[in-house]
A and B are shown apart, each in its own frame.
Chain A
């Protein structure tokens, strides 16, 4: 069956450390993978997109990797800050002309001062 898996347990880290979140998928062939941030009571906000032929993408303190062999994406936040505390969702855009995103359940990140 098709699945997107993100760690359901919250990730607790100390301010200044690097947070690493994992997104694994099975039985999908995504053209793109996106990461979104969601704060309580709000809709998700787009952060980064990485294409299937890209290995790594960076934006300020954020870095995303995409390994289509392992069927895994890693999302890193360097020099983490308490303001980075939120739930982070990965989403797959499937190849084949489809335009809908398939979302994971998200991982909650808590950055402690």
Chain B
């Protein structure tokens, strides 16, 4: 079946430009996450969407970063006025968000292949 897809796979932009990164989660998954991974670093949490609840934006590094999730499905991460330090791989993940009762893969996250962003 289809997994999480992200587009574009690579994006090169000039400092100061805005970029939009897209994530298509697995159909039926209610939770969607954005992460950033810099070279040799762990995944840095950015934002989390769960159903119709207000998103958890606590990981966004500055007000240049924003994200939307339309219709509970596709999500777009927007970075305004990009800086060189924004260069990283941006990963999206979705999760079926089952209840605590039981399943061994509770909150297993399914990741997309990522978008490699390079800001020149």
Contacts and interface: CB of A to CB of B under 8 A. Distances in A.
Most-contacted residue by chain B among A34, A45, A100 (CB, 10 A): A100
Interface stretch (A11-19, A66-74, A76-84, A101-109): A101-109
A67 B13 CA distance: 45
Contact of A93 (B31, B44, B107): B107
Contacts, number: 64
A27 interface: no
Most-contacted residue by chain A among B56, B95, B108, B109 (CB, 10 A): B109
Interface in A17-63: 32, 34, 41-46, 49
Given A99-B50, A100-B48, A102-B45, A49 B108 contact: yes
A99 B107 contact: yes
Most-contacted residue by chain A among B107, B111, B114 (CB, 10 A): B107
B71 interface: no
A59 B9 CA distance: 32
Interface residues of A, number: 22
A89 interface: yes
Contact of A45 (B35, B50, B106, B111): B111
Contact of A99 (B40, B91, B97, B112): B97
Chain B interface category by residue count: 20 to 34
A41 B108 contact: no
Given A32-B107, A46-B105, A49-B104, A106 B42 contact: yes
Contacts of B114: 41-43
A26 B33 CA distance: 24
A91 B93 CA distance: 14
A110 to B, nearest CB: 16
A42 B116 CA distance: 11
A89 B48 contact: no
Contacts of A104: 42
8 contacts: A34-B108, A43-B93, A89-B43, A100-B45, A101-B33, A101-B45, A101-B107, A103-B42
Q: Which 6 residue pairs spanning A and B have beta carbons closest together?
A: A43-B111, A105-B42, A103-B43, A103-B42, A46-B108, A44-B111
